Amino acid sequence: MSTNVDDHDHDHARTFVPDEEDSLGQYAIVEMAVRELLIEKGVFSADEFRQGLEVFDKAGPHLGARAVARAWTDPAYKESLLSDGSAAVKEFGVDMNLTELYVVENTPRVHNVIVCTLCSCYPKPLLGAPPDWYKSRNYRSRMVREPRAVLAEFGTTLPDGVEVRVHDSTATMRYMVLPMRPEGTADLTREQLEALVNRDAMIGVTVVPAP
Amino acid sequence: MTARFAVGDRVRVDDRTPPGHIRTPWYIRGKSGVVADMVGAFADPEDSARGGDGLPERPLYRVRFRQTVAWPDYAGDGRDTVDIEIFEHWLEPESG
């Protein structure tokens, strides 16, 4: 390798990296154009658009964890969460909007896991934005086809005799898994239980580990 | 709204292939399962996608299928299942 400064043969025009990507995808351009038109026509204001985004930003797994910890410690709440999920999470200020929350309970016999094979339906008002892998073609095509193999890749191996039940979120329902309460947590407060619950367990790709 | 099917009924998913926005996944068309729940009546997304009002609302079921029915070469436990939301106009009685 030469250290001669004159031996300078790489092409700056090709190695230059612009500060911003200048190739917006088609959908991004359409979204911007439609959004600007709707604001211009007064269908909604720019401020209302920002507020809409903030609703999603404020949601996150902490809200789902509150519902789970309460269900673990309050049998009446658990019953309402399983029978009418949308109403049960409204107590925490969560509005499922045009969708409905459907909560499925893990038991020693049934392990539930959520996927949306058609797109990427996810209970955003409750759990926030979905993880990138949830939206990937890999997850969406394989979780419904070979769920036990995908669960194993998440480190989840189920005991013999447990039925794996995949929920394909195809229409109006949005799903959350109510995980099993781990052993050794009888003395924990509701707040301590909340801290144990993680996003992936509410999607069903993992279980809540014992503390 | 009158629901045509009840929880526990055996149903078969139509295997027609209309164009447009369809919420019935390809892999389950023509397969048989059991109604696990009736979750209400909702605007028809196929009509909404064409610019319609989606009315009348259509009963929406959660239908449970054996994975070995959904995928004849399924490699997991024979007890494994998949639950899918399917609108009533995609379902027929299994014997029908």
Cα–Cα distance between A50 and A35 in angstroms, integer? 12
Q: B10-93 — its CATH code?
A: 2.30.30.50
The chain B residue lying nearest A165, using CA atoms, is B81
Question: Does the pLDDT at position A205 exceed 50?
Answer: yes
Task: Outline where DSSP puts E strands in A6-125.
Answer: 100-105, 110-115
The pLDDT, as a whole number, for residue A54 is 86
The chain B residue lying nearest A173, using CA atoms, is B85
Catalytic residue among A23, A45, A86, A121: A121
Instruction: Give yes or no: A80 in active site.
Output: no
A48-85 pLDDT, tens digit per residue, is 999 988 888 889 999 999 999 999 999 999 999 999 99
| Segment B68-96 mean pLDDT | 94
Q: What is the DSSP string of B49-95?
A: HTTS--PSPEEEEEEEEEHHHHSTT--S-TT-EEEEEEEGGGEEETT
Q: What is the three-class DSSP state of A49?
A: helix
The pLDDT, as a whole number, for residue A23 is 74
Which of A145, A149, A167 is the closest to B83 by Cβ? A167
**Domain spans in chain B, listed from the N-terminal domain onward:** 10-93
Question: Does the pLDDT at position B92 exceed 80?
Answer: yes
pLDDT band at B52 (very low <50, low <70, confident <90, very high): very high
pLDDT band at B2 (very low <50, low <70, confident <90, very high): confident
Cα–Cα distance between B22 and B45 in angstroms, integer? 7
A114-134 pLDDT, tens digit per residue, is 999 998 899 999 999 999 999
| Tokens 């990427």 belong to residue | A120
Instruction: Give yes or no: A120 in active site.
Output: yes
ipTM of the prediction: 0.96
| Segment B34-43 mean pLDDT | 96
Provide the shortest C-alpha distance from residue A73 to chain B (in Å): 26
Question: Does the pLDDT at position B48 exceed 80?
Answer: yes
Architecture field, domain A60-203: Alpha-Beta Complex (3.90)
Question: Does the pLDDT at position A25 exceed 90?
Answer: no
Task: Outline where DSSP puts E strands in chain A.
Answer: 100-105, 110-115, 163-168, 173-178
Which of B60, B79, B80 is the closest to A147 by Cβ? B80
Chain B residues with CB inside 8 Å of A163's CB? 77, 79-81
pLDDT band at A34 (very low <50, low <70, confident <90, very high): very high
**Domain spans in chain A, listed from the N-terminal domain onward:** 26-58, 60-203
